[in-house]
Amino acid sequence: MRRNSTYKNSWFIIIAIAIFMNFAFSSAMSYQRSDTSILHFLKPKSTKNTFKNSLHLVLPPIRPAVISTTKVSVAKPDDKLLTNVQVYPNPVTDQINLKYEISRSSNVTIKVVDVLGNELITLYSQRVEPGEKVVSYQLNSKLTKGFYFLRVVAGTESVIKRISIL
């Protein structure tokens, strides 16, 4: 008997909450209808020069009445400073030849780095004019046999090539 009355009471509570929520939301909608933003959507639109399902947004300026004089430079993705880096012969026995092409004048540094990233020898470090360059360097047993990396840095760009010494 007690379980039956609890079951009926819970249904009355659920129905009362539903009616309360219905009245709460309907009164909130009456406030929205007085707002001008809802009236904009309810007005019939003219068919002249309008697009179907288009969204028109007008964003305010970030800082009103301020004109920016900053120049923005947009670099092309193919506008590389350092290109066509070639190391020959590989494996190296006594002399390293490095050929690279640079598109504008900048500082170029060429270093030999071991596998752990320690810089062993600086082969070349100076300002270079644009064009194709060839650098040769005699090893004369300065490096032991093994694998090394040749790091070519031009400006902010770097290219790393693996070399093996015999």
Q: What is the mean pLDDT of residues 26-38?
A: 50
pLDDT digits (tens, 9 = 90+) for 120-145: 889 889 999 999 999 898 887 778 88
If one compares 13 and 7, the residue with the highest pLDDT of the two is 13
Q: Is the pLDDT of residue 31 over 60?
A: no
Torsion of CA 164, 143, 122, 104, to 10 degrees: -20
Nearest in space to 98 (alpha carbons), one of 164, 151, 158, 165:
151
On the question of a cis peptide bond just before residue 89, with omega within 30 degrees of 0, the verdict is yes
pLDDT of residue 89: 87
CA 127 remoteness from chain centre? 31
pLDDT digits (tens, 9 = 90+) for 55-110: 555 555 566 655 555 555 555 555 788 888 999 888 888 888 999 999 988 999 99
Most confident of 1-5, 57-61, 114-118: 114-118
pLDDT digits (tens, 9 = 90+) for 48-64: 555 555 555 555 556 66
Contact of 163 with 88, CB cutoff 8 Å: no
pLDDT of residue 111: 92
